[in-house]
A = this chain, B = another copy of it.
Amino acid sequence: MTAPAPKKVVLAYSGGLDTSIILKWLQTEYGCEVVTFTADLGQGEELEPARAKAELLGIRSENIHIEDLREEFVRDFVFPMFRANAVYEGLYLLGTSIARPLIAKRLAEIAAETGADAVAHGATGKGNDQVRFELGVAALNPALKVIAPWRLWDLTSRTKLLEFAEANQIPIAKDKRGEAPFSVDANLLHTSSEGKVLENPADEPPAYVWQRTVDPEEAPNTPEMVEIGFECGDAVSVNGERLSPAALLAKLNELGGKHGVGRLDLVENRFVGMKSRGAYETPGGTILLEAHRGIEQITLDAGAGHLKDSIMPRYAELIYNGFWFSPEREMLQALIDKSQEHVGGTVRVKLFKGSVRTVARWSDHSLYSEKHVTFEEDAGAYDQKDAEGFIRLNALRLRLVAVRNARAKG
């Protein structure tokens, strides 16, 4: 493509070595103005050093955007997704996938605010994140160019990257000289690790990969009970204390991490066509999923629940593939949200040595009817004779098929 060079680029900037190199490369390659965007999504790193580094690379202070997005992240992305009990390929809680649309949204918005004509990100050409960033930007600001240096440049080895950094006076932390043994992404919902020592799925992940959860073997020998309150499908309190979305998820992370909850070793199918192996830690999210299922058990109608279950894989796939800002995700969200009006009450879960299990749940909105289900006399709530007609009409077509098939054989 010989498209005209971008004039002003908003870069998703972590302050780390790689995105600092990208920053410099953008300046060098295009002679363009760079606006940096650094977000706190709960990854557990200080953001202010990113400001200093950006300034060092010549970014003017009005072009440096540093934002705490933790509440928006949990309230508008994590919670809506958990209403669906979304799990990708049976196991993955979508911790990285759900953070990307928010970054794309802010990139597009900051571009609009600052008059930039392009955005840039540091995702490689092999992964899902490039797709998620770029689909999000396309959906929100279709005129923006997207620059993905990893797909463009010739800095294809660690050595070349370091040479470029040195040649451009980009400071290199000592521990970045060697190769990292694996790659990490983190936010308030999860930490993922992949690559290098994790690349062979026949080898158990080494213990040092896990960063956010205690080894279940080292976790407390005594279980801990936690009560989580829900309203309209969202968690609102922990052990009776009402908390904001981000504070609540942080609290669950603390509890889950302490008990070794939420580790996952997975080989998954990337949207770009290959399988990849990741080690995921989602302590609070794992508790949240279990508890949400627990409260739905007593407050969600069977028809509603089964419909949700049946569309969930597609919903999860859309998020995984980067289609958060698509019409179909929004349609599915409307369906899911419609189901959650009465999903409120309290769930007690038990945390112990790596596991979380619902042990009790109660709600003013409960659909559970002890009167109907009881083994005792039910005072006429349910007429057992109704079951006969119910079964006979459900069986009618099976009978007709059986008679036909026998006739066909005979």
Contact = CB atoms under 8 A, between A and B. Distances in A.
Given A303-B328, A398-B325, A272 B359 contact: no
Interface stretch (A47-55, A166-174, A361-369): A361-369
A195 B378 CA distance: 13
Contact of A150 (B267, B293, B384): B384
Given A216-B355, A334-B335, 10 more contacts: A89-B309, A134-B391, A142-B399, A204-B348, A204-B360, A273-B372, A301-B397, A327-B339, A327-B401, A354-B355
Nearest to A136: B398
Contact of A396 (B272, B330, B364): B272
Contact of A388 (B148, B202, B375): B148
A297 B274 contact: no
Interface in A291-337: 293, 297-298, 301-314, 317, 322-323, 325-328, 330-332, 334-337
Interface in A176-196: 183, 195-196
Contact of A272 (B142, B393, B400, B408): B393
B360 A332 contact: no
Number of copies: 4
A212 interface: no
Given A387-B389, A395-B135, A401 B367 contact: yes
Nearest to A180: B375
A126 B387 contact: yes
B326 A398 contact: yes
Contacts of A297: 89, 201, 266-268, 275
Interface residues of A, number: 133
A125 B330 contact: no
25 contacts: A89-B306, A126-B387, A131-B387, A138-B395, A139-B401, A201-B361, A204-B360, A216-B353, A267-B361, A273-B395, A274-B372, A274-B373, A275-B373, A301-B397, A306-B313, A307-B328, A311-B311, A335-B335, A353-B354, A364-B408, A367-B397, A367-B401, A386-B392, A387-B393, A390-B392
Contacts of A298: 201, 267, 275
A401 to B, nearest CB: 5
A130 interface: yes
A65 interface: no
Contacts of A312: 313
A306 B196 CA distance: 27
B90 A309 contact: yes
A141 B399 CA distance: 8
Nearest to A297: B267
A242 interface: no
Contact of A151 (B139, B327, B342, B387): B387
Given A267-B361, A373-B199, A386-B388, A327 B313 contact: no
A113 interface: no
